[in-house]
Structure 1
Amino acid sequence: MSDTATDFDADALRSYLSSVLETTVTDTEVVSDGLNLVVAISTADADRYVLRRPNKLRESGLFVDLRTEYATLKRLRDTDVPVPEPVRFCDDESVPGGPFCLTTALDGEPFPRGEDLPRRYRDPDARRRIAQQSVDTLARIHSLPTEPFEDVLERRPPRDQLDAATDRLDEAARVTGQEFPTLRAVGDWLAEHVPPSPTTSLTHGDFRTGNLLFTGTDDGRPDLTGVLDWETAALGDPLAELGYFLLDWRGADDPRPAPDAFADLEARYPDHDGMTWVRRMHEHGLSPFAADAGSLGRRELVARYEGATGARFEHERFYVANATFGLATVWADLDRNRVATGAAPEREPLIEYLALVAERITNGASPL
């Protein structure tokens, strides 16, 4: 199975799914072909489905296997967390498009990192509603009983997550030849400040508006309709995931790199394509709309989460620095994969920027 849709046999897949679904599949459309191949499926009954097939990095330890992801969706089906309905899991390599999982399609659209909101949502009320519904849904996930998931998901406390991220960094350095000194220093600080005895809950693993779906109601207000991509689900520390969620929002005084450190980054990568995103991230954050009027700040999000769960967001410097470190190691792993497949790394300035942010937090800056 290749990493692209070039081996995707739409006719054969339509025939197979028509038999499975007992209806005529009228159309298949590739909507994404990155880490996963995502195909929209339409039928003569006007039902819509989504097929997801891993393309790469599934074996890296970042993700659960496809069977586990499907089993997690089945257990979420009876909760109040909005997720696609699991329809079929196929692990037969001979089936066109397989192995894959098939789910129902949900209405709505995600808001990816680095992009502004659709024009109809660019007002304070809409931004506030997006922030509120996002954090409320995160709190809902973390409040679910863990028992139904204990037979399919592994426990991943902060120490294990940190060790896995450090291993990713080691392997990325070995393959790409980059050393990541600032990021390694952050990792050392985190290893010395892991909070004791965390609570365990169901965690999504990559909870951000890029993995949520929103639809507009008749009055133009966005409503959260789905939580997608459970490929990083685990039984973990909910505060670690809250720290990750906060990365996409703004604090009262965000711990951005000092002016001289940012100037040095600019000087080392003057013509690098990644600096365009770094400059935008430096000015507006990972999700630009979160800096605009109406959107909740990090302290407001934390207060709303605490009110919904009864938890206290203690050790916030560890949790936000840990999330920043973890995201940087994921980007380093993506560069490792590029180099391993014969391409050049493309995320060096982004990784270094996140390292500088994490360093500010470990040196005492408030992440809220």
Structure 2
Amino acid sequence: MSSDHPPGLDLDQLRGHLDRERPGLVGGPLTARLIEGGRSNLTYAVTDGATRWVVRRPPLGHVLATAHDMKREHRVISALHGTDVPVPEPLLLCEDDAVLGAPFYVMEFVDGTPYRTAEELAPLGAERTRAAVLGLVDTLVDLHSVDPQAVGLGDFGRPEGFLDRQLRRWGKQLDASRGRDLAGIDELHAALGRQLPVSPAATVVHGDYRLDNVLIGDDDRIKAILDWEMSTLGDPLTDLGLLVMYSTRLHLPDSPISTTAGAPGHPDAAELIERYATRSGRDVSAVSWYTAFAWFKLAVILEGIHYRYTLGQTVGAGFDRIGELVPVFIEHGLTTLQGRQEG
């Protein structure tokens, strides 16, 4: 969608602000398009005909201040820019609601492809797919190797009690979405609580690390990690667990939740875990817990979407099938955790 004024982005206001704050940055009239695919915050590609930028702002309408904090996103990419972690160059943060109606930030536009499904990966072929996915692991190790204090992120989160707080938070999310009985979900939540692992030293965690939140270049290397809205200081293995979950084949035809795991050449979960362990030097013996926790989190998120669908509060296609996915995610979580107990 390209227009002079996409929803939530007044280009005249944006141009005026950029001319004041970064004189000479913009050379001609601005046009913009909304980039589809984000879960919540809105992302726009903006150009003056010669250069492209990206603008990020919270969704339209009322939002919780903490849930869509532009300042946090801008802060983490500013801190990581210049490290080995590939992030777009941040150009400007605006906390004045008067410009666009909400805080926003501007960063460079990075060329690359976010691969969302096995079907999108398939044309790369097995060798290139393998290289891209292994690069995803290597880049995660690079992120978790950054010393938070050294880049000014020593106070970016509260690592003490991180897993316990996460588990309680997602339990509350579940309680807020209860519209039906879900076999096994309380059992999964309780078992996760009983088997809480001891976290390694805290790192910057992305919070939603998967293939479609990175941009892959023509050389199959990761050009940028995107969507930092869930980032904090915490347990690095939560990122690994989520990546393992998204690398597991669901065997669900026409599922609105996609994983890339079915693509030819895609490394299996065991290889991804082994590569992370070897490169990071971290003990990954509790990875089944973190993977089960990822299944639980996704089950809660999907149940929330299903609950809003039953109330008539969702717009778009595919929401009618979300509800039937939730038991599948619960089952995966329980079997993953049971596998850990048996091992």
TM-score bracket, shorter-length normalisation: 0.7 to 0.9
SS in 1 for 2:300: helix
One-letter code aligned to 2:11: A
Match of 1:354 in 2: 329
Alignment of 1:85-100 (within 5 A): 85-96=89-100, 98-100=102-104
Residue in structure 1 matched with residue 14 of structure 2 by the alignment: 13
Q: CA deviation at 1:312?
A: 1.9
TM-score by length of 2: 0.85
Aligned to 2:223: 225
CA apart distance, 1:178: 2.6
**Which structure 2 segments of 5+ residues have no match?**
none
Counterpart secondary structure, 1:181: coil
**Is the deviation greater in 236-245 or in 354-363?**
354-363
Over aligned residues, Cα RMSD in angstroms? 3.0
> Is the contact made by 1:16 and 1:96 (CA closer than 8 Å) also made in structure 2?
no
Q: 1:117 aligns with which of 120, 124, 138?
A: 120
| Kept in 2: contact 1:125–1:294 (CA 8 A) | yes
Match of 1:243 in 2: 241
SS for the counterpart of 1:287 is: coil
Letter matched to residue 97 of structure 2: E
What corresponds to 1:325 in structure 2?
296
AA matched with 2:17:
Y
Instruction: Report the Cα distance in structure 1 between the residues aligned to 2:101 and 2:14, rounded to whole angstroms.
Output: 7
Compute the displacement of 1:200 (Å).
1.3
Partner of 1:266 in structure 2? Answer: none
Superposed CA deviations along residues 178-236 of structure 1, whole A, max 9, x for unmatched, are 3333212110110110012433111100000110001113xxxx121010111111111
Whether 1:136 aligns to 2:135 is no
Letter in 1 for 2:110: L
1:97-138, CA deviations, whole angstroms, 9 ceiling, x for partnerless residues?
5321111111101112x45225641x1111110111000001
Among 200, 203, 209, the residue aligned to 1:201 = 203
CA contact (8 A) 1:5 1:37 kept: no
Q: In the alignment, which residue of structure 1 is the partner of 2:85? A: 81
Give the letter for the 1:59 counterpart. L
Distance in 2 separating the partners of 1:87 and 1:25: 19
Query: 1:53 Cα deviation (Å)?
Result: 0.8
Distance 1:150 1:340, change over 3 A: farther
Query: How many pairs were matched up?
Result: 327
- Share of identical aligned residues, percent? 25
Tell me how far apart the structure 1 counterparts of residues 39 and 225 of structure 2 sit (CA, whole Å): 19
> 2:282 aligns to what SS in structure 1?
coil
Q: 1:357 to 1:209 in 2, by over 3 A?
A: same
1:149 to 143, 148, 153: 153
**Is 1:287 paired with 2:291?**
no
Distance 1:154 1:296, change over 3 A: same
How far did residue 353 of structure 1 move? Answer: 1.5
CA distance in 2, matches of 1:366, 1:349: 27
Residue deviations 1:163-186 (CA, integer Å, cap 9, x gap): 11111101111xxx2333321211
Alpha carbons of 1:50 and 1:349: their partners in 2 closer, same or farther (altered >3 Å)?
same
| Residue 298 (structure 1) shift | 1.2
More RCO (CA 8 Å, sep 6+): 1
Name the structure 2 match of 1:185. Answer: 187
Q: Distance in 2 between matches of 1:348 and 1:97?
A: 34
Alignment pair present for 1:160 and 2:165: yes
Q: Structure 2 counterpart of 1:232, which letter?
A: M
Unaligned stretches of 5+ in structure 1?
Answer: 263-274
Matched letter for residue 98 of structure 2 = S
Structure 2: distance between partners of 1:297 and 1:20: 48
Does the CA contact (< 8 Å) of 2:6 and 2:32 recur in 1?
no
Q: Quick one: structure 1 residues 88 and 338, their matched pair in 2 at CA, closer, same or farther if it must change by over 3 Å?
A: farther
Other structure's SS at 2:184 match: helix
Aligned to 1:267: none
Aligned equivalent of 1:172, options 177, 181, 185:
177
The structure 1 residue matched to 2:106, chosen from 98, 102, 105, is: 102
